[in-house]
Structure 1
Amino acid sequence: MKRNLLKALFFTGAGFILLQHTASAQVSLTGQLRTRTELRDGQGTLPAQDAKASVFTSQRTRLNLGYNASKYRVFVSVQDVRVWGSDQSTISNLEGSKLFLHQAWGEMILSDSATINVENLSIKAGRQEIMYDDSRLLGNLDWLQQARRHDAIVLKFSHKGWAADAGFAFNQNHGKDTPGKSGNIYNGTPTAPVVPGTNGIGMMYKSMQYLYAAKTMKYGKVTGLLFKDDFQKTQTIDGMITPVAGVNSRITIGGAVFSKVSDKIGFNAAAYYQGNNDRVGNTLDAYNLTADASYSSGKFTTNPGFDYLSGNNTTKQSSVNHRFDPLYGTPHKFWGFMDYFYVADPFGVDGNLTRSPGLVDYFIRNKFKASDKLIVALDLHEFYAANKIADSEVNPTGSTGSDRRLGTELDLVLNYSLLKNVNIEAGYATIFATDKLNVLKAPAKTKQDRGQWAYLMLNFTPDFLAKN
């Protein structure tokens, strides 16, 4: 009943806006219907010896309404995400709401020729996607059907090739003063069977603040990021992990260069440092280095490079955490489509996130535009641990030896445009793992040395107001 009422209100409001204001302002109404059928046989983690492959279809249905006036903008995106067949005759409370707001924000324009003479100065508030650069640390994670969004306020500035954003967020569990409970104690770990984030962190931030700056020039762009996220402190009380007053603050700082040397050659590089404290209060000292080059010749592009994400020496006990966390980016884009690294399923000795050795990824990405409608991509990854790997968590002083190689992954994607707003995509990925990767993935102790995954995705992106 609640869901039907929400739908009715939304469509009524959308229709009213379209009828009343189309003549005086710019209105957009777009959508997306994306179905993805997947075959999983070791996607995310190595399969157990007796594991059987699974097949399922998930669907994202999204409706986007935008309204642009001279002094402000409003955007609302409602989406429904579900697995085909998951609905029962009586819906369990554990399933949660399947219809929810993906985005709902308003942006007020503070600059124009009569007031502040800059290209843009605005304040954007509400539920929104936050994306910068190549989505390494901050991205919308669009591959995931649910995608990623933040409840935040962002001050935005741009003028003559310069851009700067300042963002702020403050999360609460409720908006009432409950007797016996502090309204500022935030439980970032939900009671429902879900894992917040996509990097195995398992906890939402209490608050976050960031400053992003960029300068666009003739041959590329230089960017800088200062990001702080604060996590509610916890204590074990009566055997249960309980949030208490205070926060542990993590600080990430760094920058990137995106350059185009010529029409055929490009070069990108980035370096980020993470310090202060991790989410549980340990001293944090970690970093991420990456560089890649690209060469385009006609229809073919090749893109070799490497990623280095620091980690812990798992054969030694330490109070300092050297594991770099890629914040709220898009791991699926960078570290293999099999999603073995920095996704919801953590990697570390016996699957323990705090005992992660970090990652070194040597990659070469290749793309071939076979025609105006067909694009073929083939990526190759060679994975290594960035630090020593212990035999097991119960034997942390043991070592699997000096060899840190984790495995080789191959990713193949074919994307074909059927119509202007309809495309079909098929992919296949496989990883050939070493025994070192077996140690780093949980829970099964005896696993197969190969995982594979395939998908077929049909994507409709209609523009309901466009002229045919």
Structure 2
Amino acid sequence: MNASNHLAMKKRVLQLLLLSGAGFILSAQTATAQVSFTGQIRTRTELRHGQGSLPAKDAKPNFFTNQRTRLNLGYTTDRLRFLISAQEVRVWGSDQSTISNLEGSKLFLHQAWGELILSDSSSIKVDNLSIKAGRQEIMYDDSRLLGNLDWLQQARRHDAVILKFSNKGWQADLGFAFNQNHGQDTPGKSGNIYQSIPAAPVAPGTNGIGMMYKSMQYGYFARNATFGRLSLLLFKDDFQKTQVQDGVLQYTEGVNSRVTLGGALFSKLSDNLRVNAAAYYQGNDDRLGNTLEAYNLTLDAAYTYGKLTTNPGFDWLSGNGKDTSGNVNHRFDPLYGTPHKFWGFMDYFYVADAFGTDGNPTRSPGLVDYFIRNRYVASDKLSASVDLHAFYAANSFAEGEVSPLRAGGAGRRLATEADLVLQYGLFKNVSMEAGYAIIFATDKLDILKAPATDKQNHGQWAYLMLNLTPDFLAKTEKGKQ
């Protein structure tokens, strides 16, 4: 079957699924059941000239429009929660949970999960005890380490099962995933060696990690109280071991396990002042089997005065220094979070594009980001934000082996970035957003991105986004939703 016929078949399956699913769910609706049928069309027209990496001297701006289209069917009863947004037959892990633009421009299943409610008023007397299984978004806290990456049109999802508990302000979740390339037990396809997804040149995961996890397990624990929210995360992801034979990467038996442990505090000191802090440690092994010792520290404060909120702070992510001969890796990887939210809208750091000496992520010097975010809410419909970042390397780093140093480079300062966003709600379920971002780079930043013979010292990016999120079952008033 060729690619066009395969895509046409998947579209027909999706249409049948949505029609039959909607009919079944609506016919099954009872007094105690809740049905949702929502959608989204999000178009984003972009002008890119150095978004993600500094442009070459002779590079021309890139102009295009991309679109996300979603249909979501939900069904909730006392014992079951259910959500599906598309249909395909697949084995868990057979396509990537990624932030790469090279994989995702296709029809695919974003979410399809069921959640069994185990708690009720007569037996298990807690606010919630449930098991959620299937393809799902996993989000905690501010989405720093685990988030749905909704800004990217493909977004992020995981194939997992989660045991969820909450009661009187306490929360505890236990999550598990096990990825496999296929579900067959035939000659040549037996065993549990996971060959990641997909093949080069697409790099799954964050920060150019280059492979999808084989399995993962985590525990998330949190407490809500008058002071705010305190959380603890223990996360382990396992990567299939690899070896290079005759210049070819091969996957072998066993896994290298990475462990991330830490916590976050989101405090409310007054109606106008909030202080947030987080600290995380990564240890055990990196995906290549090297000893891993890495850290992430962050602190920020947000003060609201009338319609204006200002939010200064800093992020510190450890990295590797000039000495690259050792087997200890100090590069912190922000797991499966939302880099676009934290380290500049230009996406130069900790996104799929590699960040390290000569574009080698294993030689990343880490990052220190001093920022101040400002948001002005003019009305219920209109808001504006201006974010400023000053980026520095957390360590001194080796000069490039391919990219030459331009004259004038000194110190660890990498770049200064400004991000501007204007949001306007046209009416219910329809909004528009316009943004502009610009980065001014020092000569040092050349060394940490993919090599090029001669680059410009700044990059720009502008976009205009229209977001429609209809609720097809909502009651209308005088012909308007």
**TM-score w.r.t. length of structure 2:** 0.91
When structure 1 is superposed on structure 2, of 65-74 and 208-217 the one drifting more is: 65-74
Query: Counterparts of 2:320 and 2:433 in 1: how far apart (Å)?
Result: 38
1:79/1:421 Cα in 2 relative to 1: closer, same or farther (>3 Å)? farther
Tell me the equivalent position of 1:31.
39
Which of 356, 363, 381 aligns to 1:348? It is 356
- Aligned-residue offset at 1:79: 9.4
Given that residues 129 and 166 in structure 2 are in contact (C-alpha distance below 8 angstroms), is that contact kept between their aligned partners in structure 1? yes
Residue 450 of structure 1: aligned partner: 458
1:346-385 pair list within 5 angstroms: 346-385=354-393
* 1:68 alignment partner in structure 2: 76
Judging changes above 3 Å, is the alpha-carbon distance between structure 1 residues 23 and 46 closer, same or farther for their aligned structure 2 residues? same
Match of 1:175 in 2: 183
Q: CA deviation at 1:394?
A: 6.7
After TM superposition, the structure 1 = structure 2 runs for residues 168-317 of structure 1, keeping only pairs within 5 Å, are: 168-191=176-199, 193-317=201-325
Deviations 1:370-413 (A, max 9, x none): 222110000000000000121113799xxx98610001000000
Instruction: Report whether the alignment pairs 1:103 with 2:106.
Output: no
Q: Which amino acid aligns with 1:259?
A: S
* Cα distance, 1:193–1:78 mapped onto 2, change above 3 Å: farther
267-276 or 370-379: bigger deviation: 370-379
3-state SS of 1:284 partner: strand
Quickly say closer, same or farther: Cα 1:101–1:22, change in 2 above 3 A: farther
In 2, distance between residues paired with 1:348 and 1:279?
16
CA distance in 1, matches of 2:173, 2:242: 31
Q: Offset of 1:283 from its aligned partner?
A: 0.5
One-letter code of the match for 1:362?
A: Y
What is the aligned residue count?
453
Measured on the aligned residues, the alpha-carbon RMSD in Å equals 2.0
Q: Which of 124, 128, 136 is the aligned partner of 1:128?
A: 136
Answer whether contact 2:241 2:253 (CA < 8 A) is retained.
yes
CA distance in 1, matches of 2:186, 2:443: 52
Letter in 1 for 2:388: L
Per-residue deviation at 1:199? 2.3
Measured in 1, the distance between the counterparts of 2:229 and 2:64 equals 41
Runs of 4+ in 1 over 3 A off after TM superposition: 94-97, 393-396
**Distance in 2, Cα, partners of 1:96 & 1:216:** 37
- Give the Cα–Cα distance (whole angstroms) in 2 for the partners of residues 327 and 405 of structure 1: 25
The aligned residue for residue 392 of structure 1 is 400
Identity %: 72
Cα deviation 1:293-352 (Å, max 9, x = unaligned): 000011000000000000000344221000000000000000000000000111111111
Equivalences for 1:149-160 in 2 at 5 Å?
A: 149-160=157-168
CA contact (8 A) 1:65 1:76 kept: yes
The match for 1:424 among 422, 427, 432 is: 432
Letter in structure 2 aligned against 1:418:
L
Give the Å deviation of 1:189: 4.2
Structure 1 residue 197 displacement after superposition: 2.1
| Higher mean C-alpha deviation, range 3-12 or range 369-378 | 3-12
Q: Structure 1 CA distance, aligned partners of 2:189 and 2:441?
A: 48
Q: Tell me, which stretches of 5 or more residues in structure 2 are unaligned?
A: 1-7, 89-101, 477-481
Counterpart of 1:408, as a letter, is T
After superposition, what is the alpha-carbon deviation per residue over 1:148-181, rounded to whole angstroms, capped at 9, x for unaligned?
Answer: 0000000000000000000000000000113144
Q: Aligned partners of 1:79 and 1:444: how far apart in 2?
A: 42
Secondary structure of 1:99's counterpart equals coil
Structure 1 CA distance, aligned partners of 2:387 and 2:26?
45
SS at 1:272's partner residue?
strand
Partner of 2:151: 143
Match of 1:18 among 14, 23, 26: 26
* C-alpha contact 2:14 2:87 (8 A) present in aligned 1: no
Distance 2:193 2:159 in 1: 18
Q: Deviations over 1:251-272 (max 9, x none)?
A: 0000000000000000000000
SS at match of 2:303: strand
The CA deviation string for residues 230-263 of structure 1, in whole angstroms up to 9 with x for no partner, is: 0000111232101110000000000000000000
1:56 pairs with one of 56, 61, 64: 64
* Alpha-carbon offset, residue 50 of structure 1: 0.6
Q: Deviations over 1:405-436 (max 9, x none)?
A: 00100000000000111000000000000000
Contact 1:169 1:209 in 2 (8 A): yes
The one-letter amino acid of 1:49's match is K
Name the residue aligned to 2:340: 332
Give the match's secondary structure for 2:57. coil
Structure 1 residues 72-114: Cα deviation after superposition (integer angstroms, max 9, x where no partner)? 111112399xxxxxxxxxxxxx988721110000000111111
Q: Is the 8 A contact 2:279 2:296 kept in 1?
A: yes
Gaps of 5+ in 1: 81-93
Match of 2:121 in 1: 113
Q: Secondary structure at the match of 1:350?
A: helix
Q: How far apart, in 2, do the equivalents of 1:238 and 1:395 lie?
A: 28
Contact 1:314–1:349 (Cα < 8 Å) also in 2: no
Provide TM-score, normalisation by structure 1: 0.93
3-state SS, counterpart of residue 294 of structure 1: strand
SS for the counterpart of 1:101 is: coil
| 2:35 maps to 1:6 | no
Output aligned runs, 1:156-167, within 5 Å. 156-167=164-175
Contact 1:174 1:183 in 2 (8 A): no
CA distance in 2 between counterparts of 1:291 and 1:271 reads: 9
Equivalent AA in structure 2 for residue 428 of structure 1: Y
Structure 1 residue 22 displacement after superposition: 4.8
